[in-house]
Amino acid sequence: MKRIGVLTSGGDAPGMNAAIRAVVRKGIFHNLEVFGIYQGYTGLINGHIEKLELGSVGDIVHRGGTILRSARCPEFKTPEGQQKGVEQLRKHGIDGLVVIGGDGSYRGAKALTELGFPCIGVPGTIDNDIPGTEFTIGFDTALNTVIDAIDKIRDTASSHERTFIIEVMGRDAGDLALWAGLAGGAETIVIPEEPFNMDEIIERLKNGQKRDKKHSIIVVAEGVMSGTEFAKLIQKECDIEVRVSVLGHIQRGGSPTATDRVLASRLGARAVELLIEGKGGRAVGIEKNQLVDYDIIEALGRKHQLDLNMYKLSKELSI
């Protein structure tokens, strides 16, 4: 292994820059040449590839977004696109690739692995939905962004005695909504992993009103339905004043938390070690604060498990 590449793909996540920095510096520390591939798989297909030096990743550990930029690339889902990608890697003399991203990015890495090119997946997504790791890079920062928003919304909700529905990202996973709802003291959390019962939600709102609680926060994961749709369902059942806040892409931005920076540094560096050890086709993760790695092809067949005990707890705490 003499030359390695690194790319970020799919939805960006705070901490991706810290992961790029770790890949570049760890690679150079081990006398490798490291190449940055810009705009994810799109840049790979188009050969937008440049050598990165120690200084290329200076002053980025604290920045959100990704200096390599990111893209969603439908062409890379085709065998022709994947073949073009492998040709570009070979043309640049790159022997191994680190892919930082979510499940779509992992599918690209899986395809390259199946074509015989050594790839390592590093989980970078605010959704926390990658199997084989308890946490993904960006989740902690996004969680803190959502909590900050909930705290602010709570102020105005209590002043106006309103019920707020806060729509949170996460694609098909409820992690962000569940963690933010629990940390933000939401009365109700609606996630795709568990069916919701509207009668029970209304009952909880009414019980709150009976004990003179005039405002409430309902966190709805986007994977269930939009906040607006959920508001309509509630208003069909009871006559309360409701407002909807869709947090949107602010959840993807901002300076990464210390937790995300450390996680990104550890995972990025481990990915390089695996390539040096000649172990392609793996994904790295964190379990019980220990670094782990596992077969990327097998991992994509598994499903990420949300901690349902936390969901149960959130219900117990919001009686």
Please report, in range form, the residues annotated as the binding site for ATP. 11, 72-73, 102-105
The active-site residue, picked from 12, 95, 127, 175, is 127
β-strands 119-123, 290-295 pairing: unpaired
Tokens, residue 124: 């970078």
With contact defined as beta carbons under 8 Å apart, do 121 and 99 qualify? yes
Tokens, residue 258: 């210390």
Q: Determine the Cα–Cα distance for residues 284 and 132; give it in Å rounded to an integer.
A: 8
* Member of 22, 26, 127, 187 binding ligand F6P (CB under 6 A): 127
Residue 121, phi then psi, degrees to nearest 5:
-90, 135
Least distance in angstroms from the C-beta of 170 to ligand F6P: 5
- Number of residue whose CB is nearest ligand F6P: 11
Q: Determine the Cα–Cα distance for residues 17 and 1; give it in Å rounded to an integer.
A: 23
Residues contributing to the annotated binding site for ADP? 21-25, 154, 185-187, 211, 213-215
Q: Residue 194 class from Cβ within 10 Å (0-12 exposed, 13-18 middle, 19+ buried)?
A: middle
Active site residue 127: yes
In the shown chain, the binding pattern of residues 84 to 113 toward ligand F6P, with x for contact by CB under 6 A and - for none, equals ------------------x-----------
Cα dist. 227→242, 279, 300 in Å? 11, 44, 30
Query: How many positions of this chain bind ligand F6P (CB under 6 A)?
Result: 10
Angle at 299 between CA 181 and CA 260, to 5 degrees: 45
Region of 120-128, 179-187, 195-203, 297-305 interacting with ligand F6P (CB under 6 A): 120-128
β-strands 282-287, 49-52 pairing: unpaired
Residue 28 carries which side chain, given as an amino acid letter?
I
Q: Which is nearer to ligand F6P, 198 or 246 (CB)?
A: 246
Residues 170-189 that bind ligand F6P (CB under 6 A): 170-171
Q: Which is nearer to ligand F6P, 95 or 222 (CB)?
A: 222
Is residue 125 a contact point for ligand F6P (CB under 6 A)? Answer: yes
Give the number of other CB atoms < 10 A from CB of residue 258.
10
Q: Which is nearer to ligand F6P, 102 or 174 (CB)?
A: 102
Residues 246-265 that bind ligand F6P (CB under 6 A): 252
Region of 18-26, 77-85, 122-130, 258-266 interacting with ligand F6P (CB under 6 A): 122-130
Q: Which is nearer to ligand F6P, 200 or 229 (CB)?
A: 229
Least distance in angstroms from the C-beta of 13 to ligand F6P: 7
Cα dist. 53→36, 302, 307 in Å? 10, 37, 41
Least distance in angstroms from the C-beta of 169 to ligand F6P: 3
Binding site for ligand F6P (CB under 6 A): 11, 102, 125-127, 169-171, 222, 252
> Annotated active-site positions, please?
127
